[in-house]
Amino acid sequence: MPKILVLNGPNLNLLGQREPEVYGRATLADVEALCRDTGARLGVEVECRQSNHEGVLLDALHEAGRAVKTGELLGVVLNPGAYTHTSVALFDAIKGAEVPVIEVHVSNVHAREPFRHHSYVSPAAAGIVVGFGVDGYRLAIEGLVRQRRA
């Protein structure tokens, strides 16, 4: 069965408690269940990981790139959290590992503080889903599956 990695960056472990007026009340466990259910419906296995550490995210992207090349993985749904706006290293990892990535954000980052309007990840991403709450993960998984099967 093909596989997708859902990779969540810093502070996403606080979903449901951090600024619920912005991010909603769903927890990371709720998001992971949504992702696995979406994958099951589409015939793909979904693995979920979260880290507050940039290097761990980089290592996961490098590993994902190798798995894509061997046919074990379709790609990555990535919510880089605050690293979206600061990490050239994530951009370099996505490009260097040649891993298909769909960038996802729970909130509409373009309707928020100006520093959130720029993403270092977006130019390397195969697609972007922004502002649909946690349902954006479902949309990102569906989009990645469609892209990779096309």
Is 135 annotated to bind ligand? no
Q: Is 106 annotated as a binding residue?
A: yes
Question: Is position 79 annotated in a ligand binding site?
Answer: yes
CA 48, 121, 59, 74 torsion-angle sign: positive
23, 83, 120, 137: the catalytic one is: 23
Query: Which one is catalytic: 83, 105, 120, 137?
Result: 105
With a CB cutoff of 8 Å and minimum separation 6, the contacts of 102 are 75, 76, 77, 78, 125, 126, 127, 128, 129, 140, 141, 143, 144
- Active-site annotation holds for 120: no
Cα(first)–Cα(last) distance of the chain, in Å?
A: 17
State the Cα–Cα distance between residues 117 and 113, nearest whole angstrom: 7
Nearest to 141 by CA among 100, 113, 109, 107: 100
142 CB burial (10 A radius; 0-12, 13-18, 19+): middle
Q: Is residue 85 annotated as involved in ligand binding? A: yes
83 counts as catalytic: no
Please give the positions annotated as active site. 23, 105
Annotated binding site: which residue ranges?
A: 79, 85, 92, 106-107, 116
Annotated binding site for substrate: which residue ranges?
A: 79, 85, 92, 106-107, 116
